[in-house]
Amino acid sequence: MVPGDEELESQIEGIASLREPLRRALYLFVARAGRDVSREEAAEGVGVGRSLAAFHLDKLADEGLLDTAFRRLSGRTGPGAGRPSKLYRRSRRQLQVSLPSRNYELAASLLAEAVATAGEALSPLEALHDAAATLGVRIGERAQVKPLGRSRDARLAKVLEVLEEYGFEPYREGRTLYLRNCPFHALVEQHPDLVCSMNHALVQGVLSGLRATGLDALLAPAPGRCCVAIAADAGSRRR
């Protein structure tokens, strides 16, 4: 085997392991949790038995796609505390098919449009915001095949669905949506203010295109997640 073939084989095997629908569903469930997940929780989350879930979770761990740990979930120690549970979380292994997906082509398109339209009346940053917001509106309008429900939960669920399609990993905490990853990860490490403002304009445009009234995109940077969150707007919160 020539140099590099071993790593290529490893990459292929890792990607191929996700072709199996149940294994892929378990991987996505663990990845979206963003924390340690037990066999029982993963099995319930995808609707299968514990033994079957354990088999596929261990296969994903063998491929290096999941990390494992052992911990007593009761928090008790000593005699009678019970056996530690085997827990799983997404590993830091990167595949050539990026998991989660990255969308650098989209970022490049927005940046190119900003450069092309900027001028004396519009700074490059303002042009970027306009381009991102306009694209967000188009994305939202295309996804709005029927009017959104009146409940905030229904609107949040639709926003989550749309953002997932574009490489974000939304998750809910109460009535707020956070984004676990940034589809422009490599860019945001070098130019955080630029990319975060672009993300903010894009997501706000999606909300406008969906007519997701009562929701607002906020800049809420924190370690381990994208800088944008979606929550009830100020007027909605006062009602």
Whether residues 130 and 234 fall in one domain: yes
Which pLDDT score, from 0 to 100, does residue 68 have?
94
Judge whether 119 lies within some domain. Answer: yes
Give the pLDDT band (50/70/90) at residue 50.
very high
**Residue 26 pLDDT > 90, yes or no?**
yes
Q: Where does the pLDDT of residue 161 fall: very low under 50, low under 70, confident under 90, or very high at 90 and above? A: confident
- Whether residue 45 is contained in a domain is answered as yes
Residue 97, pLDDT score: 47
Does residue 128 carry a pLDDT above 60? yes
Local confidence band at 48 (pLDDT 50, 70, 90 cut-offs):
very high
Q: 157-184 burial, b if ≥16 CB within 10 A, otherwise e?
A: ebbbebbbebbbbbeeeeeebbbbbbbb
Closest C-alpha to 37, from 14, 20, 60:
60
Is-contact 136 209, C-beta < 8 A? yes
The answer to whether position 50 is within a domain reads: yes
220: CATH? 3.30.1380
Question: Is the pLDDT score of 103 beyond 80?
Answer: no
Q: Mean pLDDT throughout 96-101?
A: 49
Query: Which of residues 90, 117, 147 is at a domain's end?
Result: 90
Residue-wise pLDDT tens digits, 164-221:
887 788 888 888 899 887 777 667 677 888 888 888 999 999 999 998 888 999 998 8
- On whether both 192 and 108 belong to a single domain, the answer is yes
In which domain, by residue range, is 112 found?
A: 104-238
Q: Give the DSSP letter of residue 79.
A: T
Co-location of 59 and 120 in the same domain: no
Looking at the chain, the whole-number percentage of residues with pLDDT higher than 70 is 76
Specify whether 108 is located in the same domain as 222.
Answer: yes
pLDDT band at 235 (very low <50, low <70, confident <90, very high): low
What is the model's pLDDT at position 239?
43
In terms of phi and psi (left: phi > 0; alpha: psi -120 to 50; beta: otherwise), the region of 126 is: alpha
Domain count, the chain: 2
Q: The domain that contains 79 carries what CATH number?
A: 1.10.10.10
Band of residue 11 on the pLDDT scale cut at 50, 70, 90: low
Let me know if residue 84 belongs to a domain.
yes
Q: Say how many Å lie between the first and final Cα of the chain, rounded.
A: 67
User: 177 and 234 share a domain?
Assistant: yes
Q: Is the peptide bond prior to 100 cis by the omega test (within 30 degrees of 0)?
A: yes
Question: Over 90: is that where the pLDDT of 49 sits?
Answer: yes
How many separate helices (H) and strands (E) can be counted in the chain?
A: 10, 7
**Is 231 found in the same domain as 125?**
yes
Same domain, 196 and 130: yes
Please, what is the Cα angle at 35 between 199 and 197, to 5 degrees? 10
Q: Across all residues in the chain, what is the average pLDDT? A: 79
| Domain end among 90, 113, 134 | 90
Residue 97 counted as domain residue? no
Residues 234, 181: one domain?
yes
End position of a domain, from candidates 50, 65, 90: 90
Q: Based on the domain organization, do 155 and 70 belong to the same domain? A: no
Asked if the structure places residue 98 within a domain, the reply is: no
Asked if 14 and 25 count as a contact pair (C-beta separation under 8 A), the reply is: no
Rg (CA), the chain: 21
Q: Which of these ranges, 62-76, 100-114, 148-162, 180-194, has the smallest mean pLDDT?
A: 100-114
Residue 118 sits in the same domain as residue 230: yes
